[in-house]
Structure 1
């Protein structure tokens, strides 16, 4: 991502902070009403975490969270939210350009990517999942909205994550969301019996 993109996001997050009340913890959009799908607390990755609402929500549920965003301004707001909610020690914040790939290594029990679309990163998201791990993705979509530079064509998420067990998928009103689970390995299956 170019420096101009980071500066644009910094300005956007600074304006949001200046507009009033800070963010509140919240589940990822695709998981609302499906929170029971969350696995037992373990490790979570929040990609393009913005001001940290999802990362802090996961940390409050016992997950150790790695949260990544290009904007230092967003990460400052995220740290403040985590501290305010008493989970600051459960989240590791990374300022990182996602055009260079995903930082850190998995496996993660939950991987969330909300409002960031880069099909080149899709294999990285799936590769970071632990066996049985949950993937939660929401992107802008052409479905119900029409074409656009940052909008996914119909069926993109389903095709990209076809090797995972699909738990929820919807495309409408300019958004596409997917919740899927990584397959269990044979060793994991036998240990759960």
Structure 2
């Protein structure tokens, strides 16, 4: 498996564990203002479907999210399979920030999205979620690479101040405009 495909698959597996833990809290509010857990999951699925569709992959009909966990797992299996196909991850294209590969985009943009929205689902459903210093640094580096585009409409809200002794998790969430003290 290509390294970027592996990183995407690992992040998908982490997100899947959180999705399984949401249970019956799909309509609970999340740190994404105005979005429920179901809305967050719909966003994650739709953005991955849109990107892969633009790259020429047909994922069939979109799930209706009547059974969000099952629908996610079917979607995730299909997407990981596509990214793992011979040569797919290495396929080059002109991305938003210039030339890149499909695998890099799936690992570093959509994988980043899975981790951050994983925190949203975890927090909305009362599950623990945290990152260590190394993970926080890696996620922040990816975010920094987007420059001001990070704070474009629909991406992240402006950064929130936190104390200097805040945990890596709290610093990351605050950097991405999410209040670390948020709870449903």
Of Structure 1 and Structure 2, which has the larger fraction of its residues in helix? 2
With structure 1 as the length reference, what TM-score do the two structures score? 0.30
